[in-house]
Amino acid sequence: MLDVHPYEALQRLRPVESFTVTSTDVAEGEPLARPQWSTAAGGVDRSPQLSWSGFPERTRSFAVTCLDPDAPSGSGWWHWAVANIPVSVTSLESGAGSAGGPALPGGVIVLRNEDGTRGFIGAAPPRGTGVHRYHFVVHALDVPSLDLDPDATSAQLGSRCFFHGIARGILTPTATRD
């Protein structure tokens, strides 16, 4: 396997400040717990608890994304994309992105993941594709909300975060089924 920088997929993004993202459910560089796996792979599609701090004072809102850049698709696999999180919100409960989970803050937009559903879809790396990284990224944005169509793609959200992002925090657990 190639020796790849852990954030290679994000290195082409405009450099911005960084801040801290933590979780009671997942840890940097560690395997995802079973609840964060897809139901198709023996999990329950439960989004992890996330908290963030140290973002710039000029932050006006947040977006949260989860991308597996190691998916055998040539473009990665979007597991979760949420926009327009109020600046007053600095954490999401475990399951906030899951069907029937704790409610997300009012006014947020939840985009479709690669499976076509609105919410978090857990890990299910195909056998034989090695270790996959799951970049949970909290984007600090310079606008109170992004003008996004509810049917926008996660990549479209990524583009808006590129232009409005002033900082980002990244937490990257892993998963493999080899």
Note the pLDDT of residue 10: 54
Return d(Cα 18, Cα 16) in angstroms, integer.
6
Query: What pLDDT shows up at residue 135?
Result: 96
DSSP lists the bridge partners of residue 20 as: 53
Ranges of each domain in the chain: 8-175
pTM: 0.92
| Predicted confidence band of residue 102 (pLDDT cuts 50, 70, 90) | confident
What SS3 state is found at 54? coil
Fold of 8-175: Phosphatidylethanolamine-binding Protein (3.90.280)
What pLDDT shows up at residue 6? 53
Residues of the chain with pLDDT > 70, as a percent, come to 93
Distance of CA 31 to the CA centre of its chain: 16
Length of the chain: 178
pLDDT higher than 50, residue 133: yes
Per-residue pLDDT for 71 more than 70?
Answer: yes
Task: Please check the confidence at residue 101 and state whether its pLDDT lies above 50.
Answer: yes
